[in-house]
């Protein structure tokens, strides 16, 4: 397919960079770029400024691994958070999802991925050592593995559980089952089996 240029090199560069964002292909990147250019004062200038600030201020929390403008992050330094509970997630996006649900007042630990021997991702590539170290501190009594229900996620969960054996920490994981609003007919057999196994009294 011909990839003809639509503007000067600056516009091309903008489109090319936008097309690298998740969910944006070349066509939607062109639309987004044109939208930004048309809304220069309302959108393009503030966006460029916000990005400049983000580059200067945003970093990774050396305690939990999330992204924030302070280190330790706002969650780690919040004294109202339960200090005995750690929720382990694969990615910052998962932490954000759990915070949106506001179901727990715990602190987190971001692994930065899952173990995947086939992709060459081992324990040293993830923030697992930091998790073990935090659990050795003595304050943590429960580690909740909020890790994806994939083969890699379960491999990671087993590895972490093994590493924490011997410590006075109970390791729990999220229930697997029927999603809220879900219809049984649409569920795969694995989910249905897990939901039946994890059934609770009505
Ligand atoms: Zn933190």
Residue 137 confidence (pLDDT): 85
CA of 139 to the centre of ligand 1 (A): 16
In this prediction, residues 179-194 reach a mean pLDDT of 87
In this prediction, residues 12-36 reach a mean pLDDT of 94
CA of 177 to the centre of ligand 1 (A): 30
Fold equal for 2-57 and 67-173: no
Q: How many whole angstroms from its chain centre is CA 135?
A: 21
Residue 17 confidence (pLDDT): 94
With H, G, I as helix, E, B as strand and everything else as coil, classify residue 75.
coil
Residue 179 confidence (pLDDT): 85
Question: What is the topology classification, in CATH, of domain 2-57?
Answer: Helicase, Ruva Protein; domain 3 (1.10.8)
pLDDT tens digits along 129-173: 999 999 998 889 999 999 988 889 999 999 999 999 989 999 999
Q: Where are the domains of the chain?
A: 2-57, 67-173
Residue 1 confidence (pLDDT): 44
CA of 30 to the centre of ligand 1 (A): 37
Q: Which CATH class is domain 67-173?
A: alpha beta
In this prediction, residues 94-108 reach a mean pLDDT of 92
Mean pLDDT, the chain, whole residue set: 92
In this prediction, residues 178-196 reach a mean pLDDT of 87
Q: Which of 93, 95, 127 is CA-nearest to residue 111?
A: 127
Residue 2 confidence (pLDDT): 47
CA of 63 to the centre of ligand 1 (A): 5
């Amino acid at each position: 397919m011909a990839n003809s240029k639509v503007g000067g090199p600056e516009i091309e560069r903008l489109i090319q960079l936008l097309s690298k964002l998740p969910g944006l292909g070349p066509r939607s990147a062109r639309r987004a770029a044109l939208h930004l250019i048309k809304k220069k004062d309302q959108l393009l200038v503030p966006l460029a400024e916000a990005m400049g600030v983000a580059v200067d201020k945003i970093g990774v929390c050396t305690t939990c691994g999330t992204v924030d403008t302070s280190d330790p992050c706002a969650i780690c330094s919040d004294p109202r958070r339960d200090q005995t509970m750690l929720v382990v997630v694969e990615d910052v996006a998962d932490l954000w999802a759990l915070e949106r649900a506001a179901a727990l007042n715990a602190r987190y630990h971001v692994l930065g991925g899952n173990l995947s021997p086939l992709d060459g991702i081992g324990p040293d590539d993830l923030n697992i050592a930091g998790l073990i170290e935090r659990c050795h501190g003595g304050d943590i009594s429960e580690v909740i593995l909020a890790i994806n229900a994939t083969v890699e996620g379960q491999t990671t969960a087993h590895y972490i559980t093994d590493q924490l054996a011997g410590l006075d920490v109970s390791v729990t994981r999220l229930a697997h089952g029927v999603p809220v609003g879900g219809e049984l007919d649409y569920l795969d057999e694995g989910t249905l089996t897990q939901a039946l196994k994890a059934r609770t009294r009505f």
